[in-house]
Copies of this chain bind each other. A is one copy, B any other.
Amino acid sequence: MTYIRPNFRHPESLRNDAGYSIKHYEGALSTLCAGCGHDSISAAIIKSCFDLNLAPHKIAKISGIGCSSKTPTYFLGKAHGFNSVHGRMPSVTTGANMANKDLLYLGVSGDGDTASIGMGQFAHVVRRNLNMVYIVMNNGCYGLTKGQDSATADQGSVSKKGVPSVFDSIDLCQMALQLGAGLVARCFSGDKKQLIPIIKAAIQHQGFAFIDVISPCVTFNNTPQSTKGYEWVREHMEATGTIDFIPDRTEITLDYPAGSSRTVTLHDGSELHLQKSSADYDLSNRKAAMQQIETVKEQQKILTGLIYHNDTKLDTHGKINTVDTPLNALTQDELCPGSEVLAALNAKLR
């Protein structure tokens, strides 16, 4: 039980450009196990929101059920949160987003919550390109119900129970790519340097941004033979590149060595800079991204980092052509046709 604080600790007095201190982004005491990967992700979210100068109350954090889905209580205490039912975060977030397009939607889920009971809703929120950040805290198991294998547990991976998983695992990044997500990334909760810029990029992304964060469950799935344990992941990570998030390209001019780096420009002009990239494919090429995941997997490695980015597609609101004003802000006058039109309508019905 700890308060989640980002590793990069700012003095309480330090304020970001929006005038908030880091405290404004923190939440309640975490009740997760000490060392749980999920807590690190919470810390990264806090730090990302602080750095991006977001108004905390303009964020809605929505989750399903599970240890992972509990985390929204532990960050962004000034934001409204919704711990819904198991596997149904996507639909609740979709409704929330329909009601008010102006908030930032941070969806948090687990691998059980998303890849099993929530698979249908996951697929369809991707397909609709809902403008949200979707984070899966992926530990390959059902933490809250005491460690059963989840559908992301790799075949042969061994959890605390000691029985190797027999079924193929579902790769959520590949699913997201397949279903048309605009930003797809995979991270490791133990690697904040990579995670934070990617969360920032996901927040800035217009449309559906998916981050699969491998997040070890220290209590039930952190054995040496678990492919979602700290040890295994650290040893098998293969990164698309070392990543910097640059909020405003006019501001800083970093000198990246030519050829070894590449830049992803986000819709607000901010940039994601990949240094010393090991990924030799075009990040905006879906087919290439899919291949790359497979190729790295064939080498018994896990591809991490930003895997795909493309923000040319309309989001759900764009597709269904809603007005700019959030729907929840339209007044009765704007919504109710009034008595007059009824005369004509009734007449037609005679």
Closest to A171 in B: B178
Total A residues in contact with B, Cβ cutoff 8 Å = 29
Shortest Cβ distance from A144 into chain B, in angstroms? 20
Which residues of the partner chain B approach A179 to less than 8 Å between Cβ atoms? 168, 170
A168 close to B151 (CB less than 8 A): no
Shortest Cβ distance from A186 into chain B, in angstroms? 16
Which residues of the partner chain B approach A120 to less than 8 Å between Cβ atoms? 116-120
Interface hits, A151-175 → B, CB 8 Å: 151, 166-168, 170-171, 174-175
In the bound complex, what is the Cα–Cα distance between A295 and B290 (angstroms)?
13
Given A124-B151, A170-B179, 7 more pairs with CB closer than 8 A: A116-B124, A119-B120, A119-B124, A123-B170, A127-B168, A178-B178, A287-B294
- Is the C-beta of A320 less than 8 angstroms from some C-beta in chain B? yes
In the bound complex, what is the Cα–Cα distance between A179 and B116 (angstroms)?
13
B119 close to A166 (CB less than 8 A): no
Interface hits, A206-227 → B, CB 8 Å: none
Q: Mark A243-254, 1 if CB is under 8 A from B, else 0.
A: 000000000000
- Is the C-beta of A31 less than 8 angstroms from some C-beta in chain B? no
Which residues of the partner chain B approach A128 to less than 8 Å between Cβ atoms? 167
The secondary structure that dominates the A interface is helix
- Is the C-beta of A180 less than 8 angstroms from some C-beta in chain B? yes
A178 close to B175 (CB less than 8 A): yes
In the bound complex, what is the Cα–Cα distance between A286 and B291 (angstroms)?
10
Which residues of the partner chain B approach A167 to less than 8 Å between Cβ atoms? 127-129, 319
Closest to A298 in B: B287
In the bound complex, what is the Cα–Cα distance between A142 and B250 (angstroms)?
51
Which residues of the partner chain B approach A174 to less than 8 Å between Cβ atoms? 178
Can you identify 19 A-B contacts, CB atoms within 8 angstroms? A116-B120, A117-B120, A118-B120, A119-B119, A119-B123, A120-B120, A123-B123, A127-B151, A127-B168, A127-B170, A128-B167, A166-B320, A167-B319, A171-B178, A175-B178, A287-B291, A287-B294, A287-B295, A290-B290
CB within 8 A of A291: which of B124, B170, B291? B291
In the bound complex, what is the Cα–Cα distance between A296 and B178 (angstroms)?
15
